[in-house]
Structures are given as C-alpha cells and as structure tokens.
Homo-oligomer: A and B are copies of this chain.
C-alpha cells in the first residue's frame, strides 16, 4: 500500500498557515529540534500563496492549501484557524497522514485526542488521523498541574490569567506596538483590532462571550478537564489580556485530596518534564513572560502554601504562548507520532 511505502521514507511534512505567527513558529521549532523531514510543504490560503518563508537557510515558496497540495503528506501541522482545519484536516487523515491541529475545531471531539505530550501522550495512540492541541493557557497549566494531580489528587483549580497580545494574533501585536510608539511620541494611542487600547492597560475581555463567561474561560475549563481526564474538575477562571507581546502568565491555586506543603509541591514540579522551577522570590527570581519568551519550558515559581485554604498550594507560571503554548506542543506531538510510526514499522 502507498501509505506503507511512504513510511519507509523520511516523512513528508506540511505546515498550514505557514506565513502566520503560529506557522512561522512551527517552522522555526521544526528546524531547532532537527525534526526529520523528507519533504516540506509550506501552505497557506490563496492570499499568501507565492510568498516565501525561510527554512534551513533556504527560501520555501508558499503554495495554496488544497486537496492536491496535501496529497501524500505524513504529518500536517495546522497553524491556521478552525475553518481551515475543519476543511482540510480530514483530507490529510483520509490520505493516511495525520493532521496536528492548533485550532479549537476538534478539541471537544471525542474521536480526536487532545494531547499535551508531558501529560497524556498515551491518548495519542487512539488517533484516527487528527490530533488536537489545547489552547495556549491550557497547555502550560496542565503541564504544571498534571504532576501535582498524579502526586496529590487534584480537587479544584482557581486561575487568573495574564495573557499576551500574540494570543490574539499578529494584528494585535502590531496594534500594541503602534500604541506604544504613539504614547512615546505623545500621540493618542488608537484601538481598532481590539475593543480597548491594550498598551498601559489591563483588559479582562476582548473574547467572545457565552453568557457571563468568555469563550476563553470556557475553553480552558473544558480542555483542562479533558487533558487531565477529570471530567468534573471544578475550575474557577478569569481570563485577562495584558500589554505584553509574547508570554502568557497565570496565578494558580490548586486544592488536592491530601494536604500539600510548599516543599512537596516544589519537589514534584522540580521533577516534572517541561517544567522549570524559578522560585527564589527573596532574590527576585520568579517566572515572568519576558523570561519565558523563547523558552520551551513552562516557568513556575511563587510556589507556596495557599494562605486562605489550609493544605492547598498557590503558584505562578509563565510560558511562551507561541512556543509551548502552541507550536512546540504540536511539534512534540509530531515527534511522538514518528516514534509511534517507528514502533509500528518495527512490529
């Protein structure tokens, strides 16, 4: 069979949305991690077709994503919106490849695994050609919370986020930058991409609403429950945008089946993959988005007893939302897929 034949070769890779912020980060991380690539196709909407993106020091011409341009692809990284994923991920799957999607299109689909490699890699085995990535808050949150859950049994989460402009897309980053420049020049900063001026501000909104909750809040609740396999986990969350280009942060409180002290939580987090403990506040060492930007680790610190809930734990995390919050997670899923393929081929 054609698909088996293909498996003997270095994989054919597609990046959909290759010209966007998320897609270009996927390309960079594929390079950095020396992802084995037999053929690379940079794909995007017809609007971006003909542009070039850099990969391995050479320009790659962007082609339009179509049924044809996806033919023979082994792993397709979807770094585009939900509409593109809904339209083309099934094409990749039908062709015997696997679509790894960063959009929210398939995150609630029970037939599609929702994967954070450090947390629930085992769920990947059940994939049927499509794998979903959680959103950029859920990924770092579950990377930190899953090992604590394994050790102590998670009962409840409370989360306040400090989310960067890049989570809202490249246009919001450009708007924030223009607002900074306007303020520096003594001009009035303008807002058009976002409902409020983000520069020198804190915005507890900008997402679509579902009743009294933001879409983002409901996504984090549903996805965290799915990734942790805790269908009824109580999660209290307020999502807030801050004037930072890259790097999402969160203040987190966790309640557990047993009383947990700060030292035990710090020990567990210190031994957890994907986590870097930065926790010496007296020396002013704690996670910040400036330090997280460019890193594939989730930084965690301010680990301490929750003063208001005996036995519970508080901490603060920061992660690069374009990397571990999106592209790095997808490429890690790709690496797991190759390992699975190798295991199948060897069997």
Contacts and interface: CB of A to CB of B under 8 A. Distances in A.
A32 interface: no
Interface in A278-337: 281-282, 284, 286-290, 301-309, 312, 314, 316, 318
Interface stretch (A57-65, A69-77, A100-108, A197-205): A197-205
A294 to B, nearest CB: 14
A26 to B, nearest CB: 24
A173 to B, nearest CB: 11
A221 B307 contact: yes
Interface string A157-197: 11010100000000000000000110111000000000111
A280 to B, nearest CB: 10
A178 to B, nearest CB: 10
A227 interface: no
B251 A240 contact: yes
B307 A162 contact: no
Nearest to A196: B288
B213 A307 contact: yes
Contacts of A183: 180
Given A289-B201, A290-B201, A305 B243 contact: no
B309 A234 contact: yes
Interface in A234-256: 234-238, 240, 242-245, 247, 249, 251, 253
A322 to B, nearest CB: 15
Contacts of A184: 180-181, 184-185
B243 A200 contact: yes
A223 interface: no
B244 A307 contact: no
Contact of A249 (B157, B202, B290): B202
B314 A202 contact: no
Given A201-B288, A201-B290, 9 more contacts: A158-B236, A162-B242, A180-B184, A200-B243, A203-B286, A206-B284, A209-B281, A212-B302, A237-B307
Interface of A: 156-158, 160, 162, 180-181, 183-185, 195-197, 200-206, 209, 211-214, 217, 221, 234-238, 240, 242-245, 247, 249, 251, 253, 262, 281-282, 284, 286-290, 301-309, 312, 314, 316, 318
